[in-house]
Copies of this chain bind each other. A is one copy, B any other.
Amino acid sequence: MKALVEIFYKDSVFDPQGNTICQSLQRLGFRRVKDVRIGKVVQLELDTDGQSPADAKKDVENMCEKLLANPVIESYTLQLEGK
């Protein structure tokens, strides 16, 4: 099974990288760009033999809390794909 986790800074946290890219895009002529936020995406390949999708999801949430995301300043969304 594959899991896809998207991790962004919370909206209240300033995102300097996104800000810089927004300005660069506008300078390149893409004037329709109003705002940019940059995040990380983690694609996990999991061996879920004998594990329910609910348990797999709980596992991935645990990974996010313990290692992948910093819950103080970041929020994440996760999707499970396939079997």
Binding site for B on A (CB under 8 A): 6, 8, 18, 21, 24-25, 28, 30, 32-48, 51, 56, 59, 62-63, 66-68
Given contacts A40-B40, A42-B38, A43-B39, is CB(A32)–CB(B8) below 8 Å? no
Kindly state the separation between the CA atoms of A42 and B37 in the bound complex, as whole angstroms: 6
Q: A65: shortest Cβ distance to chain B, in Å? A: 11
Q: How many copies does the complex hold?
A: 2
A42 touches B21 (CB 8 A): yes
CA distance A62 to B37 in the complex (A): 18
A47 touches which one: B25, B34, B66 (CB < 8 A)? B34
Given A24-B67, A68-B21, residue A33 in contact with residue B41 (CB < 8 A): no
Question: Can you list 25 contacts pairing A with B, beta carbon distance less than 8 Å?
Answer: A6-B41, A8-B41, A18-B43, A21-B67, A21-B68, A24-B67, A25-B63, A25-B67, A30-B62, A30-B63, A32-B51, A32-B59, A34-B46, A35-B44, A35-B45, A36-B44, A36-B45, A37-B42, A38-B40, A38-B41, A39-B40, A39-B41, A39-B42, A40-B40, A40-B41
